[in-house]
Structures are given as C-alpha cells and as structure tokens.
Structure 1
C-alpha cells in the first residue's frame, strides 16, 4: 500500500546534505547549518515509546557554544520525534574554580539557547541528570567544592522546571535527584555527579523504588552521570565510576529496573551485567574517548531507544554523529573488562563465552 507520508519523508531526507533550521527565542533568531548528513537518515521503526539519549554536550571550560554535532542532533529531533529526550549530564562546561558567576550563567544561557529552547518549541519533554561539569557534588573537608556552581544549576533548572514537560512524582530534591513518569514508564534520576551516592540519597532511592508508582510500572529506568563500571581507558580508575557498584546494581535489579543510563566516560557501549542493562551514552560534544581494550576510533553519538511496553523490550538505534551512519552491535567488543570487573555487550550472555 502506498504510504504518502513515508514517501514524502524519504524525498525530503534524500536531499539532506546541508540545510538550515531556524528557531526564534524572544526577539532572537538562531540559524544552525546542518552539514555532512547522509542523503538518507535512517529512522528506526517506532514502538510504544521513544527516547532520544544525548550526553556530555559541552565543549572547553567556560564555553557558551556547542559543537556542530550537538546542534545537528537537536535539529534532527523533528525527524526522530521522540516522546522524551534524556540527557546523561554535562550540559555545560563548568567545574573550574576560576569561572565567575556571570560566566556560569552565560553557559546556562547558551545551553538554553541551543538545546533547551528548541526542544521546548517542539514540545518535547526533557529529562536530565546533573553532571560533574554542571554542578559537581564533590566534597572536601565536609564542604561542597563547587557549591556555587550547584546553586546556579539549581536556579536555572528551577526557573525552567515547569517547562520540562515531565510528570513529576517526587521533585523535593530537584534538580539533583528526583523521579517522574511518562506514559506509564517510571524514571529515577540520582545525583551521580561524583563517585559517591550519599547515604541520604541512597535511602531516598530505596524508598522511591518501593513506592506503588514504581512497582506498578512495567518499565523502570534509572539515570545518573557516572557509570557503574568503567568503559573508557582514560576513566578506568576509582573516582571515575560509582563506588559500591555491585550493591547499587543489586538494588536496581531487585526493583526490576530495566536499564541504567549514564554518561561521563564519553564512549558509547550498550552493555549489561546480570539482569541490568547498562547504556553508556557517548559524548555528543567535545572529547569522545576510546573504548577500554578496543582499537576503535572515538566518535560522538546519539542513541534512540524504542520501548515495547508489554514486554519492556528496549531497542537501541545509535548514530555516529560525525557521519550519521548507524553503529551496529557487531562493531563493538563482546565484553569490556575494567578495573571493576567485566560487563557484556547488551545482546550477549555468559553462554556466548
């Protein structure tokens, strides 16, 4: 049967080499030139709920600008049409003592201009976790090292909280840790901007996962900036992944969390350990890194997750944002062994070894 809508979409996509997307914010116009896109961008078959995962968007310290791949990905949301965009942290480029309040606020304004506002215009809900460069929770001598950055991050997100399009369950500690639901899917966001999940936060996590709204949801998703296990050679050391990972994984597994989405390592790897899927979102901004134990060249990524609600099956479609070609599972190593143990590729089991 002739599908007119699909035919028109293919005609439009077939000519995408360079085009211009303009969005208006107040009295300003923003033009983003999209170059180096393929003549046909693959759009995966849609399931019941679609999430676009982006992470580590920032550039050099203090930058208010974003890489072309970031701007391209935001413009392409109109093609993917996600029900939700999730950011794995590091929306801005802070975590530097010499940055002034005005510089940090300027970075949040830049984030709003290039990322948040275009998503608001498209009416796409936006969830996120705080990264170490957004407002690190690092503590020294019982004092928050980057307390000022956290306050400015909190001020920005509280100002825009009502515009995120999220159905909040608990926002008492927003934007650092909170929970929400979208279309019957439960989301838990914890503050993994440092390698330690505080006792207070851990108690909140346990209580939140034990609530009826969490237990009744067929699909449960957790998101935090630091991963449970290292996947980048440069980050294969304590402090760059979460302390007590096995205990945290066990907690998520016991509460039937389907996947933990993280960033920080700047490398894409869809892994799993035990019953928990581990989506390590690659960096979309500067600084893509090399997979641990692999000779694959680094590349920026965007991942589309399609969820089949009845079975909680997650289907990942991931793009190399330099070329907009697909990254297949077969291109990735079957397992990654780091300082903190081995994780398998998402499609494999221990029986494959």
Structure 2
C-alpha cells in the first residue's frame, strides 16, 4: 500500500481567465473546486495510474469537511485527523491559458496547538501500519516546528516504514537529519538545504544528490523543470528528460512526478524506468489545469519520448 501523509491540505479553487489582467474586474464560469495540497495531488495522479493510496491529513472546520468529501468523491481514500485549530486553508489558482503558467495564491492555514499535531502524528503512524511506501508531502501547518517533522520521520523509520519526503526549508533539513529512506525535492529546495545556490543543471544536481546519499539516504531525486529529474540510488545516478511540451500550468507537476516515481518503485521497476514514468507524469500534469490531473494517453506518449541516461556524480 502507498500511504501519503499530507500535513497541510487545502481546498483548491482553480479559475481560468483568458487574458487575465490584474486590477480589473473579470468573470469566469470555468472553475474547478477540489481537495488540494501536495499530497492530494500525488494521490490523484497515482490513482489515475492504477495505484491506490491512503491519504492521511489533518482537517478542520466546514472547509475540512468539504476537502474530505471532495477527496472521497474522486475515489481518494482518506484517514482524516480532525483538529480544533480552525478552518482548513483555501488556495486560489489563477490560470490564463495564454499566460505561460498559473498564479497560486496560497493561504498559510490555521495555527496548530501541540495537541493537534500530536493527534495527527499518531493517526499517520496508524495509517502507515501496512504501508509498503510512505510519502510525506507538503508544508507544515503554522505553529508546528520543523523538529516535529523530523520526529515523525524518525518514528516511521523506527517502525520499519520506508519514507520518501517532499518538503522544503527547515522541515526538509529536519527530515534529512532523521534519515528517511529518500527525498524528492526541486533544485531550489535542495540547494537551500545544502547551503548552495539553486541547482539548475544535471551535473550540479548529481553532485548534490551524491552528497545526500553519502549521508545515509537510499534514494534522492531532484526535479529540474523542463530538464527533467536526476536521481541516485544503489544502482548509480540517472537523468530522465522528457520531450518538449506546450506548458499550460506547472502547479502540481512535481506532485505527479512523485506519483509516477512512487508507482514505478512499487511495481518493482528499476530506478531508470521509474524515473521515466515520473517525468512523463510530471509533464502530463503540466498540460492540464489542476494539480495531479494527468491523462494516461499523454503519460504513455511522453514516457515513450523521454530520454533516460546514466550520469556521473
């Protein structure tokens, strides 16, 4: 089973405005309301690939109830931890089909008490009891110190769970210190974690990932936008580069990449082929509006056109 631990879910409202102009009154009837947050995007893409997953996320208020109902309406199974911190956050995504990408307006969300986080962490441990792979995806709620994520990674590892983390900033540093099985981050996130500039090329990414592997990680992957993804494991370092696409929105592309990579690993694919599936999913997501939304025909087309090469660390 794939378990996706999502500390900071959201209600996503995506609105499409052709010729979007800030400072002007504009109207649209092209609106998608969905359960959101990075982990929800991962689960949505994984389900399209035929990989069921169990979500574990904290929810609060009427908005949290709506997030749970919307997720379940899509067929996304959830183990929801109810908190008393207030309403689950709402994020607004503005998409101009001719604008080259989407604009994300993200609420920070409510401030958690220690008891809210403790209940969620316990729920995550229970949800992951039968997991073959656990993903921790997204930011932390306000009020939760980065060390608490490291504690959760440590608890999961001590219980024998294989954990891949996708977060950033101080939470990423705390997670790395707890030695998860793996990480999947982007070039800016990994550069910041290692005290470097943003990683924007394959050679620099491979070198940085080798540093993480030397620190005890089994798998480390970094996404580089249109350049694809570089990853290292026991078999070496690999670069998967997708074919060019006509970008619609990058929102959720990294989450779909993680869904493809995780699904490939669970299917027993070697890392190069799991990466091929991952970059195909990430690129397919970038052709659609809404995080984690991919079409299987596009995934297959993009996977066939992707290049996967061995690289030097």
Question: Given the two structures, how large is their TM-score scaled by the length of structure 1?
Answer: 0.38
Question: Given the two structures, how large is their TM-score scaled by the length of structure 2?
Answer: 0.42
